[in-house]
Amino acid sequence: MTRIKICGLTNDEDIRLCVAAGVHALGFVVEYPIPVPWNLDRQKARGLMGRVPPFVTRVIVVGDDPRVVVETVEFLKPHVVQLHGNEPPSVTKNLVSAVKGLGAQVIKALRFSVETGKCSSVSDNPLDAARMIEDTGVDALVLDSFSEARPAGTGQSIDWTMARNIRETVGLPVILAGGLNSGNVGQAVAAVNPYGVDVISGVENPVGKKDPDKVRAFIEAVLSR
């Protein structure tokens, strides 16, 4: 079964909606270093995360500054930390050790530019980049798109053939993100066969507010595969 994460939760109503619809994980963007519509301060995030019921995974999405990442993990005590910045392998490896010492798992995003198609990594070769991330000890790999305007939530898909090649290369669970919505997620799952899918803007209307019909249609499209 393909796991489903809905990201960018900012209010109680959307948490209740997503839980009732049957999602497996909820993502909270916390003190991200670049302005995005879903960004929360850690106090707001703690209040919202406290409303997530048992058996639903709490994920915080953070980036770049290792000190801020560790402090945020200590404060929020999430199940999973998603590193979604430009952390080089050496920093990622150190963060993996620190975060796992605090009782959380770590997933790392490998992002691809919608303008150039190139990955945001020390290697231009996506397979090499994925292997380097695997070597840091993370628990899973997220494949996502980014643009000059947004570090995530672009609404633009990545190359699914490349994503499948990465999944077949690494020994990590691979989570597919980037431009997913109810209209294409079934095709994406068939093409990539990922461990999970991650959506943010594809289930919103307007930006920052989850749309009940889009959430339910997205989940139905994944579960019907």
Cα atoms found within 13 Å of the Cα of residue 47, Cβ hemisphere only? 7
- Which CATH number covers residue 169? 3.20.20.70
Percent of the chain whose predicted confidence (pLDDT) is above 70: 93
Helix H, strand E, coil C: the string for 85-149 is CCCCHHHHHHHHHHHHHCCCEEEEEEEEECCCCCECCCCCCHHHHHHHHHCCCCCEEEEEEECCC
Spatial separation of the C-alpha atoms in residues 146 and 172, rounded to whole Å? 22
Please tell me the total count of domains within the chain. 1
Which domain does 75 fall in, by range? 3-223
Residue-wise pLDDT for 93-151, tens only, equals: 999 999 999 999 999 999 987 666 677 667 789 999 999 999 999 999 999 987 655 55
The predicted model scores a pTM of 0.94
Q: Report whether 68 contacts 31 (CB < 8 A).
A: yes
Under the banding of pLDDT at 50, 70 and 90, the label for residue 171 is very high
Is the per-residue pLDDT at 3 higher than 90?
Answer: yes
Residue-wise pLDDT for 12-60, tens only, equals: 999 999 999 999 999 999 999 988 999 999 999 999 999 999 999 999 9
